[in-house]
Homo-oligomer: A and B are copies of this chain.
Amino acid sequence: MKLSQMYIPTLKEDPANADVVSHKLMLRSGMMRKLGSGIYTFLPLGQRVINKFQAIVKEEMNNSGAQEVLLPALQPAELWSESGRLENYGPELMRLNDRHEREFCLGPTHEEVITDLVRDEVRSYKDLPINLYQIQTKYRDEIRPRFGVLRSREFIMKDAYSFDIDEAGLEESYNDMYDAYERIFDRCGLEYRAVKADTGTIGGDDSHEFMVLADAGEDTVVYCDSCDYAANLELATAKVEAEKADEELEELELVDTPNSSTIAELMSELDLAAEKMIKAVLYENDEQVVLALVRGDYEVNEIKLSNLFDVVNIELAAEDKYEELDTVKGYTGPVNLDDVEVIADELVMKVVNGVTGANQREKHYLNVNPGRDFEVDQVADIRTVKEGETCPECGGTLEQTPGIEVGQVFKLGTKYSEALDATFLDENGKPQPLVMGCYGIGITRTIAAAIEQNHDDYGIKWPTALAPFTVHLLPLGGGDDVENKAQELYQTLNEAGVEVLLDDRNERAGVKFNDADLIGSPIRITIGSRSLSDGELEVKLRQSDEEMNIDADNSIAEIKELIANEIK
């Protein structure tokens, strides 16, 4: 394509309200524009990247035996009632009524629709397994859309759904998808990790997320420096190394602790380490109030806590719950606190002569000992692990790094097939619920994640597989020789099937170089009159910043070799 004829409105300045690098660069390079909060239009350059990524995803999905379908975005609300998610999903589910006042929602995901589809059609074990996928626009009414397409309200997803006769079949389908995802992200040249993950509003038994490692990531990847263990911080566990201190149990003591409603204040007030503190936090869900206890140097992990109770969300208790239980926020503790379920983290049970809130303003107990001074209803891993802890699998050291979730695979099991009564007849002619998996890749999100991982101060550094153009031709000066060479190269490269963008605009060199860096094609070829008269073209590789001259007369062969090397 010729730049003069393409609609690529680049911006010199960072746009206001663009909060992360990918958001800024997608706007500045003319890939997209904002229509409303969390709603974006993709311009020609952005659409080219979407097309490229979609082609890779489709190829690998087809190779894995999955079959492409297209499910509606408009979903009857009754289906969501059947699965119980119409209420559970909450306000992120966009809802509307049609002209006859029938209720619909705009699909954020398609478990209900696909299960409804197959429940009427798949009758026998002989029809299984099947795996159906689509690439489709999805809707999620984020409370605070941000970071461009990393957290938007209308976005493109690839979602796949597998149906098997048993758990062993699901295991195979799940592994096939896992492998396909690795091939997809490998082909895109992305640095990523597959990590154990929470199943959230989708539900199910087991899940992995594919995380592109990048500073802007909202997620934290916990991984072992010695083995393959990797998990989302939401779910990561560590080996409990702490032992109970070999101390005499002292007598419980009530002390005044003015101005010490936080662990840090308390540490300074009492001159004690955080490891001695028992932090107590009140939570509530629809059914009950829970007191969560973690050691003072840890935070309560709300996902782990939610999963204990098999609810989607558990929230910090409201003020009135403190009054009902006759305690005081900032001074809550398990000693003499009734009518609440007490969940203690494993490490809390190792504390000897600890400190905790006394349920009275500006008072704490010293020498608190679990079991002696308060009862625990349940001991569980409910803390967020910290960097440097011990790997639960091999004893290595756990590291942390920010990541962007670009894909997730779930073993759903029979959650949806049982709710929607989707069965098949087994070899004995008996109806059995279908065993399901589901598998998502955020198409637009992956593109943003690729930019988060591949950029510098000047613009995008596209991995070749995702680049809108492979070669950026930049003629300078505008003499006849330069123009002729540019046209010749443009035509020859096009004929050779190389995607090339020719900057044929009548602009200053600075403008052209800046736009080339911004757009970020892997290979930039400058055709300048001086080097051309020496029989040479100037090449710069965007990823490595490497510069070199190539023979102007034999340039096609050299460029093709560069492209082959550039595919990382």
Contacts and interface: CB of A to CB of B under 8 A. Distances in A.
B141 A99 contact: yes
Contacts of A154: 72-74
A73 B155 CA distance: 10
Q: Select the residue from A39, A46, A65, A137 with max chain B CB neighbours within 10 A.
A: A39
A70 B94 contact: no
Interface string A151-162: 001100000000
Contacts of A395: none
Contacts of A120: 33
Interface in A360-394: none
B96 A96 contact: yes
A91 interface: yes
A113 B35 contact: yes
A41 interface: yes
A5 B65 contact: yes
Given A41-B117, A73-B73, A141-B99, A47 B35 contact: no
Nearest to A40: B72
Interface string A100-120: 000010100000010011001
A132 interface: yes
A42 B65 contact: no
A327 B6 CA distance: 63
B39 A72 contact: yes
Interface string A243-271: 00000000000000000000000000000
Contacts of A91: 99
A117 B33 contact: yes
A253 B102 CA distance: 56
Contacts of A68: 44, 47-48, 51
A202 interface: no
B67 A42 contact: no
12 contacts: A7-B69, A35-B116, A36-B104, A41-B71, A41-B72, A41-B117, A44-B67, A44-B132, A46-B70, A47-B68, A51-B68, A72-B154
Interface of A: 5-7, 9, 33, 35-36, 39-44, 46-48, 50-51, 65, 67-76, 91-92, 94-96, 98-99, 104, 106, 113, 116-117, 120-121, 130, 132, 134, 136-137, 139, 141, 143, 153-154
Given A7-B132, A98-B141, 4 more contacts: A47-B69, A47-B134, A73-B137, A136-B137
A116 B51 CA distance: 24
A277 B232 CA distance: 82
A239 B41 CA distance: 48
A281 to B, nearest CB: 27
Contact of A36 (B9, B42, B74): B74
A46 B75 CA distance: 20
Contacts of A42: 69-70
Contacts of A65: 5
A41 B33 CA distance: 30
Given A43-B69, A113-B35, A7 B94 contact: no
A69 B94 contact: no
A145 to B, nearest CB: 10
Given A41-B70, A69-B47, A94-B96, A76 B132 contact: no
Contacts of A106: 96
Contact of A74 (B39, B48, B75, B117): B39
A338 B212 CA distance: 77
Q: Select the residue from A40, A44, A51, A130 with max chain B CB neighbours within 10 A.
A: A44
Closest A-B pairs by Cβ, 7 of them: A96-B96, A44-B67, A42-B70, A91-B99, A9-B121, A39-B72, A47-B68
Nearest to A114: B41
A14 B104 CA distance: 28
A65 B43 CA distance: 15
Contacts of A132: 7, 44
Contacts of A130: 7
A419 to B, nearest CB: 17
Contacts of A33: 117, 120-121
Nearest to A163: B7
B9 A143 contact: no
Contacts of A95: 96
